[in-house]
């Protein structure tokens, strides 16, 4: 490892330095953490350098400085590339949380000076797109002319899901997505139902079923159907029990969390994934197909159990529009 060229405080990943990213956006964490996450994702200094638009030696130097400041070895260098050590694996999850938390702190600070305005902060991720509110926007402006939208992007990880949904109203006011009472109780939030989405199936565009425009249950015989684990959703469990009892020819594969990784698993392993129509743009190589069954799941806006007056007004307007 290279010798540290600053003090330990200067290089600490928790250092609240007055640093700015390219483009002038301030950050309050050591940017070496982002380099570390990029290297961990790419598994190569060269690939990370290409993604970060810096030289490989610069990437190596940042990782060496981070390892030295933490007094930890984060990677093992092998002839097949870089492998995370156990310490590195642990830091990956914490680094994602640290970065998101620091970004949220800046959002809170900015919101503090805008508290008199009716700004609705909408959390967005590939799995929780804000398109439903964009579609409602023309009508919402009539009922809420002074309301402004602020889109707050976030990484859809289990850690972020717990943090964001359990603290709605602090950094993010609403998130669009599927839910039911089981999920709301688990995440300690509330939900406004906008629609009942038909439960569909997503398949790779290269899958034999992708040639169809609609599926029957029998089309799924011999397939591996990815469903969220039991007790995540009452509606999914109803479908699961029906298939288990009446269609044992379908192999159910449990998974723990809906994120882009689940969609990648579906595409890479040629599986079938339970999905809803509003996820049609999550993965470019997957096709979402309706199925000849009557199973649906609520879709709407997740919000704090006790939202602010501005959010209450906004939710009431959404409810009136969708019920009209």
State pLDDT tens for residues 109-150. Answer: 766 655 555 789 999 988 888 888 888 888 888 888 888 888
Residue 115 pLDDT: 53
Residue 113 pLDDT: 58
**Quick one: CATH architecture of 8-106?**
Orthogonal Bundle (1.10)
Output b/e per residue, 91-100; b: 16+ Cβ within 10 A. Answer: bbeebbebbb
Tell which residue, 121, 147, 157, 159, has the closest CA to residue 303: 121
Mean pLDDT, all residues of the chain: 86
Nearest-angstrom CA–CA distance, 159 and 96: 9
pLDDT(24) > 70: no
Residue 111 pLDDT: 65
Mean pLDDT of 22-33: 64
pLDDT(300) > 80: yes
Residue 162 pLDDT class (50, 70, 90 cuts): confident
Kindly report, residue by residue over 89-118, the tens digit of the pLDDT: 999 888 888 888 887 777 777 666 555 557
Residue 213 pLDDT: 95
Residue 1 pLDDT class (50, 70, 90 cuts): very low
Residue 17 pLDDT: 39
By residue count, the chain amounts to: 324
Kindly report, residue by residue over 188-247, the tens digit of the pLDDT: 999 999 999 999 999 999 999 999 999 999 999 999 999 999 988 999 999 999 999 999
Residue 8 pLDDT: 36
Q: Do the two domains 8-106 and 200-294 of this chain adopt the same fold?
A: no
The CATH code of domain 116-195+299-323 reads 3.40.190.10
Kindly report, residue by residue over 240-278, the tens digit of the pLDDT: 999 999 999 999 999 998 888 899 999 999 999 999 999
> For the chain, which residues make up each domain, given as ranges?
8-106, 116-195+299-323, 200-294
Tell which residue, 54, 10, 17, 22, has the closest CA to residue 35: 54
Q: Which residue has the tokens 């008199």?
A: 116
Residue 75 pLDDT: 93
Residue 59 pLDDT: 92
Mean pLDDT of 152-156: 87
Nearest-angstrom CA–CA distance, 17 and 144: 40
Residue 135 pLDDT: 87
Kindly report, residue by residue over 48-77, the tens digit of the pLDDT: 999 888 999 999 999 999 999 999 999 998
Q: Which fold has domain 200-294?
A: D-Maltodextrin-Binding Protein; domain 2 (3.40.190)
Cβ atoms within 10 Å, residue 150: 15
What is the DSSP secondary-structure string of 86-120?
Answer: HHHHHHHHHHHHHHHHHHHHHHHHHHHTTTTSEEE
pLDDT(14) > 50: no
């Amino acid at each position: 490892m290279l010798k540290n060229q600053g003090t330990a405080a200067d290089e600490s990943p928790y250092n609240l330095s007055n640093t700015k990213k390219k483009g002038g956006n301030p950050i309050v964490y050591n940017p070496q953490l982002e380099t570390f996450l990029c290297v961990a994702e790419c598994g190569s200094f060269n690939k990370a350098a290409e993604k970060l638009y810096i030289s490989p030696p610069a990437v190596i130097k940042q990782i060496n400085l981070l390892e030295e400041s933490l007094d930890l070895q984060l990677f093992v260098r092998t002839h097949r590339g870089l492998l995370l050590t156990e310490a590195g694996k642990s830091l990956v999850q914490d680094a994602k949380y640290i970065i998101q938390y620091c970004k949220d702190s800046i959002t809170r600070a900015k919101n503090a000076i805008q508290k008199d305005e009716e700004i609705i902060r909408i959390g967005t991720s590939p799995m929780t797109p804000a398109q439903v509110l964009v579609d409602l926007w023309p009508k919402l402006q009539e009922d809420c002319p002074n309301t402004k939208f602020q889109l707050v992007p976030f990484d859809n990880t289990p850690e972020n899901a717990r943090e964001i949904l359990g603290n709605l109203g602090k950094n993010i006011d609403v998130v669009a997505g599927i839910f039911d009472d089981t999920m709301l109780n688990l995440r300690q939030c509330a939900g406004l139902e906008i629609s009942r989405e038909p439960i569909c199936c997503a398949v790779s565009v290269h899958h034999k079923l992708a040639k169809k425009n609609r599926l029957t249950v029998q089309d799924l015989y011999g397939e591996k159907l990815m469903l969220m684990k039991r007790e995540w959703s009452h509606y999914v469990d109803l479908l699961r029990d029906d298939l288990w009892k009446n269609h044992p020819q379908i192999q159910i594969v449990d998974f723990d969390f809906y994120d882009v990784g689940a969609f990648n698993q579906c595409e890479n392993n040629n599986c079938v994934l339970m999905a809803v129509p509003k996820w049609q743009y999550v993965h470019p190589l997957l096709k979402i197909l309706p199925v000849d069954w009557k199973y649906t799941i609520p879709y709407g806006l997740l919000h704090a159990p006790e939202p602010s007056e501005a959010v209450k007004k906004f939710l009431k307007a959404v409810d009136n529009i969708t019920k009209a």
